[in-house]
Amino acid sequence: MAGFEQFLTAGKKGLLIGIGGVSMSPLAEVLHDVGVTIVGSDMHESDNTRALREKGIGVSIGHKAENITDDLDFVVRTAAVHDDNPEIVAARAKGIPVFERTQAWGTIMRHYPNAICIAGTHGKTTTTSMCTHIMMAAEKDPTVMIGGTLPLLHAGHRVGNGDTIIFESCEYYNGFLSLSPTIAVVLNIEADHLDFFKDLEEIKTSFRAFADRVPEDGIIIANIDDENTMDALRPLGRELLTFGLSEQADVHPANIVRRGAMSEFDIIYKGECITRAVIHIPGEHNIRNALAAAAATMQLGVSPAAVKYGLSGFQGAGRRFEFKGKFNGADLYDDYAHHPSELRAVLDAVEALNYTRTIVVFQPHTYSRTHALFNDFLEQLARPTITYLAEIYAAREQNTIGISSRDLAERLPNAHYYQTFAEIEQSLAETAKPGDIILTIGAGDVFRIGDHLMGQQR
């Protein structure tokens, strides 16, 4: 199949399947802006589909073979769109080339002199968002692709006119191996997505291949505190710029002061204090994320002042320790954490905030992850004062394992399992009180509990 480059010209026409998605809608905008005629399909109407129509991009609701017209030159899909999708079947029957989303983005990325790609098992959205804040403070007008909503952008993406693209880069299905980073950031590497990867060693091999995509005059930025990251990247025979809490890191903090959810610290860059930074989101892991963002953006000549003001203006991304409001006098937050290490980071951060009780509503994400990391989930879910367990969010999977959130609850003395969100909401209404923190946690739709509770109070 021919490469995607030949389709980045005016007069070509393409269809994007799932065009309303967080990564596909900005792709549609970028292609539209270079003169490519873009149409698309999605299963549901959304703010993104309506915004695309306003730009003159046609969107059909529903995946139908008749959407694949003879005048199409190419089709782009995400990993969630499988070969049995009627539009994929029709495109292949007509001989129309089908590309993965990351193949398209990787080609577009090569047209930017600077491409910051943020990878890692955890922290990608927050670090990509921090990079965006810094580059905006530096008035660099970046193009941005984030896997979540950033209040600064009122969206998860931005199409700029500058020479830099900032891209959240996911390892699932080796998607990030289609990208073309000039600056590759590896935040951490852990066992995850085990429905695709065989084991941790295969994941480390994938991350090594990602870093190896950086050209010789590019930069690889790595978390010195993470053993898996350093083990995966050291054999590259390339110099690494390191960040972390360790004083051995090229970029590390000093004189850390924590006050509630805020952390203040000096940023030491290669032995020199370049600025004193403040971040308004809690947790040691977010100090590391800020250091990674500072390290990446400073390679592009960003001033220490832009780093300082960019980080201070960041209040968090959507679904990343996002404050939703007060319910029964308790503080209600929502977080996207869906891996035991992410749970640990959130709970570690909460412990420093001195709430009377911690109430967690957790919705596991995928049967394979719940099964593979079962004991690790138990260890973290035993920590809150009260844990509510919603049923596992299936996402892309079928429950061939026969596992349920009930299995977790039966092993936890502090846990309650409920089949419906309504039952959890009722119990929260009877339980929550001032002095509590309530956290709805998970990568599925558990956030709807907080939204519903907040809506009930209005």
DSSP 281: S
Ranges of residues in the chain whose predicted pLDDT is under 70:
1-2, 457-458
Domain holding 431, by residue range, is 322-457
Same domain, 253 and 355: no
| Residues in contact with 458: Cβ distance below 8 Å, sequence separation at least 6, in sequence order | none
pLDDT at 157: 85
Q: What torsion, rounded to 10 degrees, do the Cα atoms 235, 236, 238, 244 define?
A: -70
Residues 345, 298: one domain?
A: no
Give me the pLDDT at residue 239, please. Answer: 83
Which of 248, 282, 312 is where one domain is finished? 312
Which of 286, 312, 338 lies at the terminal end of a domain, its last residue?
A: 312
Backbone angles phi, psi at 207, to 5 degrees: -65, -35
Q: Is residue 107 situated within a structural domain?
A: no
Residue 202 in any domain: the answer is yes
Catalytic residue among 87, 168, 342, 425: 168
Residues 158 and 70 in one domain: no
The catalytically annotated residue of 29, 78, 87, 124 is: 124
Say if residues 439 and 403 touch (Cβ distance below 8 Å). no
Using alpha carbons, list the distances in angstroms from residue 54 to 44, 89, 306: 17, 29, 34
* Domain assignment of residue 317, yes or no: no
150 and 293 inside one domain? yes
Q: Are residues 271 and 331 in the same domain?
A: no
**Residue 85 counted as domain residue:** yes
Q: Is 124 a catalytic residue?
A: yes
Alpha-carbon gap, residue 104 to 443, rounded angstroms: 26
User: Distance between CA atoms of 424 and 429, rounded to whole angstroms?
Assistant: 9
Does some domain include residue 51? yes
Residues 245 and 331 in one domain: no
Query: 27: domain CATH number?
Result: 3.40.50.720
Both 253 and 347 in a single domain? no
Pick the catalytic residue: 37, 102, 125, 127? 125
User: Edge-to-edge strands of the sheet including 262-269?
Assistant: 155-158, 143-150, 164-168, 114-119, 183-186, 219-223, 240-243, 251-259, 262-269, 272-279
Whether 230 maps to a domain, the answer reads yes
pLDDT score for 457: 66
| 168/192 same-domain check | yes
Same domain (yes/no): 306, 355:
no
Check whether residue 64 and residue 179 sit in a common domain. no
Same domain, 433 and 286: no
State the pLDDT at residue 376: 97
Q: How many domains does the chain have?
A: 3
Q: Hey, what amino acid is at 195?
A: D
Position 409 scores a pLDDT of 98
The SS3 of residue 320 is coil
DSSP symbol at 23: T
Query: Among this protein's residues, is 125 annotated catalytic?
Result: yes
Of 312, 345, 368, the residue at which a domain comes to its end is: 312
**394 shares its domain with 420:** yes
Q: What pLDDT score does 142 carry? A: 96
Decide if 106 is inside a domain: no
For 439, the 3-state DSSP assignment is strand
At residue 456, the pLDDT reads 74
What is the pLDDT at residue 147? 83
